[in-house]
Structure 1
Amino acid sequence: MKKLLASYGRDDEFRAVAEQIIDEEEKKNNRVLARILRKTLESGPSLSGPKPMKSLAPLIPFPDAAKDFVERVEPTHTTKDVVLSASNTRVFIGLLKEFRRAEDIRRKGLPVRSKLLFCGPPGCGKTLSAEIFASELGLPMFAVKLDQLISSYLGETASNLRKIFDFARKQPCVLFLDEFDALARSRDDSGEHNELRRVVNSLLLFIDRLRPQGFLIAATNLDHTLDSAIWRRFDEVIWFDKPDVQLIGRYLRTKFRNVLTAFDVGTKAGELVGFSYAEIERVCIQAIKSTVIEKRKDVRERDFNAAILDEQRRRSGRSRLTSQS
């Protein structure tokens, strides 16, 4: 709806956004509403009246060329579900403001930041932040299906890459490339063969040429393996680290904001230093489930302590596997 109002007075864009809204209502099985909206949109003025708007094809979420490689991500989280450092919060607010004034910025001959690289260990909020960022922008989010994008046939991976970048050029959206290191691995690595080097060369070219109407976001847990030429292709690099004790305390209070507790969850933050957000979330969920299992109304400190022990056991097993490999 924000996009619809923002496009008022620009007939082609207004119609395109209206078509997208109608398509969404049809997907939700609101067929009566969709039919009424489409009839209203199509009922143009009389022949003697003003010239009707130029007809546009409906926005297609998955053009044939890219449908095998991207999937729509429906937002299920809000800003209340994420706890970011002060520096990352400042960067995201700046990007939102810049996007909303993009036309004014471009009229001054200045570039708008639209290519972002998210770096940091797993479970620290990269994917969640991309989803919430897309929602705040009012743009659809499409995730690249990396397993299908990377082809076993020589030459096809670069061709598949071209299709998703063509898609991002035409469709205003947030295009999310997770596990980016699988595509952008350093060409200096002696273990990589010529085909993967050609993929990196193509990737660099496509990122350079891309002028998205939304954002390209790439995320990696292995930033040290990225090709050195990749870094300067991105307008902004955002680092996601494991939370410190203050951020953990804020996150715990967020997770328990609608849950009755018999203790102050904030006092447990110090015991979770070194954990990722994903690990802390598992601790919280396990502690809350204890109240359901035991048919109690409140979470007790012993529930939380037991959940921490479970997560520590899980972590120690993972560390053992890592050391063996």
Structure 2
Amino acid sequence: MARGELMKKLLASYGREEEFRAVAEQIIGEEEKKNNRVLARSLRRSLDAGPARSSRPKALAPLIPFPEAAGDFVELVEPTHNKQDIILSPENIRIFLGLLRESRAADTIRRRGLAVRSKLLFCGPPGCGKTLCAEIFASELGLPLYIVKLDRLISSYLGETATNVRKIFEFARKQPSVLFFDEFDALARARDEDGEHNELRRVVNSLLMFIDRIQPKGFVVAATNLDQSLDPAIWRRFDEVIWFDRPDTRMIARFLKMRFKNVAVSFEPEAHLAELEGYSYAELERLCLQAIKASIIDKRKIVRERDFLDAIADERRRRRRTSRMTAA
């Protein structure tokens, strides 16, 4: 192939790792055939010195269009985090590693007539990593992540909710993806709750049927902060239920170390573990960022202990006020 054509193919394949490397190998091969061995060796060294190949599997299929009627309450999320950005309990690490291994051996498992776990329920208080974990899980699988905002679906389409949910599940059946139902309790609440709308009860009945029947190409993941509100029949529809608890002191210490890894500090954040007990990851993230911003505002290169303590005091005030509102 002419050198100019190869260069055009190389530029056109930029961003697609396997194609880019294949064209680069062709160019190197052409130079070797011409006896330009010094140039060929130099090109190969440059290629080998580039970023390591990703061990993450590729998406199983190209993206298909999401049903137009469902576009208002579904969002394709581009991953911005990786597994270094999350801290999980040892139990949850074991579960997710098992799910990843099972997914990668899915064809072999199905050939033996066995089902692959593909319907997951995440439970736990707000800010403890459920949404972040869904993003990183999708990224590790090499699958696109679609987030379904059920609160918007119900408020806007109450009379059509069951139809729209059916469209969502039909999409999950065709598209290899991680389909993430946020605030799942908004849709799957107990049918015997006093004053529950008849339409919503019908939706829960439909939802139970959809979850039962679907064999998704990827994963269906539902998350709830209010697991006690879920309809009792929901639980057995999921292959795996994973609890995200508030971090213990060991996990808080790991989080602080990770958060201040690239920041100069004049104190030991871990010395304040007792004051941070019971905080969620979202609260810890907020107070760490506030401490860092205080040093930036004062044009200092070091975060002082006073910055950190003030941020803790602000977060404590916020928790105290919001707890009153939720209790009212």
Q: Same fold (TM over 0.5)?
A: yes
1:209 maps to what in 2?
213
Alignment of 1:175-254 (within 5 A): 175-254=179-258
1:100 equivalent among 86, 97, 104: 104
Deviation at 1:232, TM superposition (A): 0.2
Structure 1 residues 309 and 169, CA gap change in structure 2 (3 angstroms): same
| Per-residue Cα deviation, 1:6-35 (whole angstroms, up to 9, x for no partner) | xxxxxxxxxxxxxxxxxxxxxxxxxx7379
1:301 equivalent among 286, 292, 305: 305
| Per-residue Cα deviation, 1:116-137 (whole angstroms, up to 9, x for no partner) | 0000000000000000110001
Q: 1: CA distance between counterparts of 2:256 and 2:157?
A: 47
Deviation at 1:65, TM superposition (A): 4.5
Higher helix fraction (1 or 2): 2
Does the CA contact (< 8 Å) of 1:169 and 1:212 recur in 2?
yes
1:79 maps to what in 2?
83
| Per-residue Cα deviation, 1:56-106 (whole angstroms, up to 9, x for no partner) | x96434233433331101111111111110000110110000000000111
Q: 2: CA distance between counterparts of 1:199 and 1:125?
A: 28
Is 2:146 aligned against 1:167?
A: no
Give the gaps of 5 or more residues in structure 2.
Answer: 1-10, 20-60
2:66 equivalent among 39, 62, 65: 62
Over aligned residues, Cα RMSD in angstroms? 2.0
Deviation at 1:185, TM superposition (A): 0.5
Q: 2: CA distance between counterparts of 1:88 and 1:195?
A: 36
Q: 2: CA distance between counterparts of 1:280 and 1:211?
A: 38
Give the gaps of 5 or more residues in structure 1.
Answer: 1-31, 41-56
Q: What SS is found at the alignment partner of 2:64?
A: coil
Does the CA contact (< 8 Å) of 1:73 and 1:140 recur in 2?
yes
Q: Counterpart of 2:113 in structure 1: which amino acid?
A: G
Q: What SS is found at the alignment partner of 1:71?
A: strand
Q: 2: CA distance between counterparts of 1:170 and 1:222?
A: 30
Q: 1: CA distance between counterparts of 2:157 and 2:281?
A: 38
Q: 2: CA distance between counterparts of 1:179 and 1:149?
A: 11
Does the CA contact (< 8 Å) of 1:66 and 1:167 recur in 2?
no
Q: 1: CA distance between counterparts of 2:68 and 2:158?
A: 22
Q: 2: CA distance between counterparts of 1:152 and 1:270?
A: 44
Q: Counterpart of 1:315 in structure 2: which amino acid?
A: R
2:276 maps to what in 1?
272
Does the CA contact (< 8 Å) of 1:151 and 1:157 recur in 2?
no
Structure 1 residues 249 and 61, CA gap change in structure 2 (3 angstroms): farther
Q: What SS is found at the alignment partner of 1:124?
A: coil
Does the CA contact (< 8 Å) of 1:125 and 1:240 recur in 2?
yes
TM superposition score normalised by structure 2: 0.80
| Per-residue Cα deviation, 1:18-53 (whole angstroms, up to 9, x for no partner) | xxxxxxxxxxxxxx7379x9xx9xxxxxxxxxxxxx
| Per-residue Cα deviation, 1:164-202 (whole angstroms, up to 9, x for no partner) | 001111110000001000100001112212111100000
Structure 1 residues 153 and 105, CA gap change in structure 2 (3 angstroms): closer
Q: 1: CA distance between counterparts of 2:126 and 2:86?
A: 15
Q: Counterpart of 1:290 in structure 2: which amino acid?
A: A
Q: 1: CA distance between counterparts of 2:155 and 2:285?
A: 35
Q: Counterpart of 1:273 in structure 2: which amino acid?
A: E
1:90 equivalent among 90, 94, 99: 94
Q: What SS is found at the alignment partner of 2:265?
A: coil
Q: 2: CA distance between counterparts of 1:155 and 1:127?
A: 28
Does the CA contact (< 8 Å) of 2:149 and 2:183 recur in 1?
no
Structure 1 residues 242 and 151, CA gap change in structure 2 (3 angstroms): closer
Structure 1 residues 153 and 275, CA gap change in structure 2 (3 angstroms): closer
Q: Counterpart of 1:266 in structure 2: which amino acid?
A: E
2:36 maps to what in 1?
none
Q: Counterpart of 2:286 in structure 1: which amino acid?
A: R
Structure 1 residues 305 and 60, CA gap change in structure 2 (3 angstroms): same
Does the CA contact (< 8 Å) of 1:249 and 1:267 recur in 2?
no
TM superposition score normalised by structure 1: 0.80
How many pairs does the alignment contain?
275
Identity across matched positions, percent: 68
Instruction: Please identify the structure whose Cα radius of gyration is greater.
Output: 2
